[in-house]
Structure 1
Amino acid sequence: MDLQPETILHERYRVIEKLGQGGMGAVFLAWDQTLEMQVAIKSNFNPAPESVDQFLKEARLLAALRHQNLPRVIDYFVIDNEQFLVMDYIPGEDLGKRLKAEGAQKLDDVLRWSAQLSSALAYMHVQNPPVIHRDIKPANIKLTPDGEVILVDFGIAKAAAAQSQTATGAAGYTPGYAPPEQYGQGHTGPYSDQFSLAATVYALLTQAKPADSIARVLGKETLVPIRQMDPEIPQNIADAILKALALKPEDRFESVTAFQNALKDPNFSLLDAERQQISSVIAPTAVSEPTRVVSKPTDPTVMKGPEKSKQKKGKKIGWIIGIVGGLGVICLAAAALLLFVIPQSPIYLLDGGAAPTATETVQVAVSTEIMEALETEVVLAPTEAATEEPTATVTVTPTATEALEAVGGSGLIVFASDRGEGDTIQIWTMEVLRNPEGDVVTGVLTQLTFDEGDKDQPVWSPDGTQIAYVAPGGLNYGLDIWVMDSDGSNPMNITQHAGDELDPVWLPDGSRIAFTHHLRDAGNTPIYALTWIRPDGSGRERLSTDFVEWDPTFTPDGRFMIYVISASSHDYLYFRSAVDDFDSPRGLDLRALFGEFGEVSDPVWAPQGSQFAYVRHNGPNEVIVLVTYTQLEVNGLHQPKEYVLTDTNVDTDPVWSADAHWLAFTSERDGNLEIYLMPTTGRPQINLSRSPGVDRSPDWLPLP
């Protein structure tokens, strides 16, 4: 609820003003009419029925904390599914503002603040279960008039025992201060707070954030030793900060207390080899031991799959047109799983059996107040995934699934596969889960379609109740767009039009399905046009008039459509705007950033945040690229940055998870088409499908 000034909340708190907005709630300054003092009230809206009990559990956990460098929890309550936490209001300046105003801080001051923060963190980490802050940065540290620092904003804190996100839990990170494991690379724990504290000390001493951990993982940046920034900083302090900023948790100190002791110990030092190891970029390496498989692998008989087209327009369109043209032979190759491991974890294929006992799960999703943002903060709030009634279950995990966390928010992917009887490509779903040890595992596989004809490119409707897909239309229609219910029932051909229709994508409001219409060929050049239609088959309208255009995707708010346009022997990204009802193509001129840009395909917008992914082509090589930006308006992108996420040169079809933390994609790195998964950092890359046949064209179930 949007509380206005002078509102009386819970018959006790008079709202003074809103301090900030973030995540799924807001923070207000209020007057406690009972205790006659100012307080900070954090609101969090979560309609999930189980979220109230979880919130109360988390609030009690925080209310028990008593430390001079932490704010107190005074009260907590729930009103109409909105959860409220009342905490001390901490006056004073935050260190982010101080750093911006004054520049690098004095060494003695920083060491004193670090000691106080380490004391608070050590206290949090010895709780049962341990509480992990997960968002330590200068803006979340208040400096009181008497020179003490208070660690505020527990907006994404959690208990270390929690390996799955709860109803009220939120995943988040602040680039520059968050370790790699907080981007989805592994478990967070006390070592994560240690990394963020070291990054904060680094920033306070230099007025510069250390290289972002994700950029270090991707090889885009290297960590600049702090003594290069300021040679006056003692060597022991530089070495302590370097060790605490190691990308791998096992390379950091055993605790924040050990880190603090190293800062104070003039004799502490690292060997040159240790400094080099920590400073170097960690590239993907092959797993040193075989991947553990719980279930028997699929019988590696040779299976049939569609022959790939030699057309220039990306493999995806070639695959689908190949369905009509004929079937070829795809041979099984050994899997080569590339991992950036934090920590190293095996991949499991579950086949029933008892699941390991899950540890206690307590997520703390509360905040004292939200400060002026000096850095971009990403806060993503997951919800529980609904369980669908399976049509035909292939791999059953009756007890294991109950103990596992849904990956990506919904934990369910729809895809195309011939794993059934081996001759026909059908539509399937697979569960993508994380076990109590933090390993990503594949759960139940369910076949949705059984009729004749190869199907492909399944995509969920925004509400998750229907699936659009590509299948033969019969007669002389070629390939058409079909729509069915999410359980595979009530399939309906909605296009029934001459020429192949491909690349279906739902508008965010579910009102239409846009797609590529393969009109004809001009010599060896296919002519594509953007078209859209209502899910019931009415209202068909062609959007393209003068250009060859294909592969549409929409921003989450529905304001823009991005797609591929063929011009001057290149395939560029273009976009249209809802301002003119998507009528006029607009150049997305990123060539200054990407060079000549080359051939592109498969653009896909993230469901949250200012980012999208696409496939970049360089001859036969295909890599997945992530683009982030600050703003998109009718004049184009603002401050775009690009990250190449894959390097096997055979990766296509990227799709975002519902929480925007993961990308599933199709890869041919194993000699056949498989569904792979990676966090938005690009590592690790995990083979989910592990079948000798064809598995491709994934799409992630959206959150309701």
Structure 2
Amino acid sequence: MTLHIGEVVKDRYRIVQVLASGGMGIVYRARDESLSVEVAIKESIPGRMTGEQMRKNASLLGSLHHPAIPRITDTFTLADGAQILVMDYIPGEDLKQRVEKSGPLKIGEAVDIIMTIGSALQYLHSQTPPIIHQDVKPGNIRIKPDRSVTLVDFDLITTVQDNQTRPSTHEQGLTPGFAAPEQYNRMADMASDQYGLAATLFFALTGSVLADGLNRASGNSQLPERMAARIPLDILTCLQKALQINPEDRYPNIQSFLDALGSVIKTQPEVSTLTTRKQRYTRPETGSKSILTIAAISFGVIIVLAAAILLWTSLSGPTSKPTLAIQTSVTIPVVLSTLPESVTEQPEPTHEIPRIMSGTPTALIVEQKPTPLGGGAGVFAFVAEKSEIPQIFLGSIDSSKIEQLTEISEGACQPDWSPDGKRIVFISPCPPKAKTVGKTDPYSGAGLFIFLLENKQVIPIPSLPGGDFDPAWSPDGRQIAFTSLRSKIPQIYLYDLQSEQTSQLTKTMAGNRQPAWSPDAKQIAFSSMRTGTWQIWTMDSDGQNPRVFSNQNSGAGFTPDWSPDAKTIIFSQTNSLLLSIKKAGAANTADKIINNRLTFAANPDISPDNRWILFDSNLGGTHQVYRISLEGSGAEPLTPDNEKSYQPVWKPLPGN
């Protein structure tokens, strides 16, 4: 039967309004008279869902706890056999209504919604057994007045174990344009939710619905060119992969899709602490006078540019690049560092160090700063794409010299210092950053190498097929932790420089990567998918006692780094990559974002004097190396904005 407005069901729920109706049932807004709260009531259409299916769905949903998934509070059967599900009432409108009313969303808003819903789906997929939503579409995404979003309508949820007992296509009531091709053959799996999520993002950005899955599978798989032209190329590349006809050709999981999206989103928020700003363009007046003026200005600009290029060339050191001889029979020298029992703070320097590099390529501005950067006289290694191929360079805060260290035809990246500051471990090959977009493991096939600064030799570290990356040199100089794909799933390994033996630290079905040593070499922080989303974890240096560290409710966590005093861990958090900092050993405390305006800040590295942070970001539209104080103030670029630079790491202080 259909419930009526004003009717009281189960002597408790008063029907207030019809919210929606569909092939599986009718949704009402009601008031729980017992608790004086608003709820949503789903009445299933008789014959569409059995009582057993209803109870099973309620049981599945009742065990879930995610901020973007509504709670199930009650379930019962009416006298006529209709199944009733009572759940949280979600005020607001759905994404379909929003786009139809106001048009396509801005890129940032659309991706934020997809990131949140994707997190909920990844959470469902991480359950044992994995749960599949099967009906991801704009109409099932509610947008609250506070702009938070919730995934609703779980009528079609099922587990992977129930793959063979799913209802027929007619009973499912699939939504054309959002249902994956395999769903029409009762072959839905977790990749089907990824397809629906990507189709939803396409709709949010264009206002257009894709052709149904069967039509696309029949040879019309290309995205509509006219609509696709409205989407930035990097995002379109991610969508094309997530919308592949064959589920095996999509991303391996939803988190990989989200990671790919997060890596390509480009925003330019106004950060008042940046020392350089681009001047606003104004249209010149017409007429012969303005033409002469433009010509004069243009000539002047050419002169300035030429001077700047000559000045930049002279400041960049000799033009001849070091020739790197890769030796295969050299024993890697092991310099052991003595780890202090307790970390003592460095005395505060009183002299001033000028910053020598501006963010604009047309002028070099020298500014006096009240406090110096810490770490090896302000020396840091970083990756730059001066010739489009990533190579490793040295930069210094108190010197104008920039030195290129590597010149490897296949590229070099991910540098990390030995504790004595005489060697750098890195990986190769490294594709340009633009070619890593949309790839889950862009460094598959890479290997580890050690660069000796004294004679510029390059020594390979023995490896196995798959790919080794994310190297981290231990503070005692004995070992290098790294991520490897040799077992297909990314796991963390240790290479012992003395015995030349490799051991595996993590052995889970979930991915583990980005190891970072504690200053006493007794612990390792790392990023793991063990909870269904990338989170920061810690473990003993032998792989024992793994513990989750970051707060899952705050978003995903990446690229951790310990402070030299071992008191805090900094990492990139949420899909916008905000820098967060947290006391080490205080996993139950809140994660603190150091500056809400710094977005897409990756690879943070704290200076040896514990005062500054290096990181890379595309704040200005191009990936650059930035510095910021540990308190979150004074953000400024350290590398030019006309070339990509990233993955900075401080050189250790002498004697550490």
- TM-score relative to the length of structure 2: 0.39
Indicate the structure with greater strand content: 1
- TM-score relative to the length of structure 1: 0.36
Indicate the structure with greater helix content: 2
Higher RCO, Cα 8 Å, sep 6+: 1
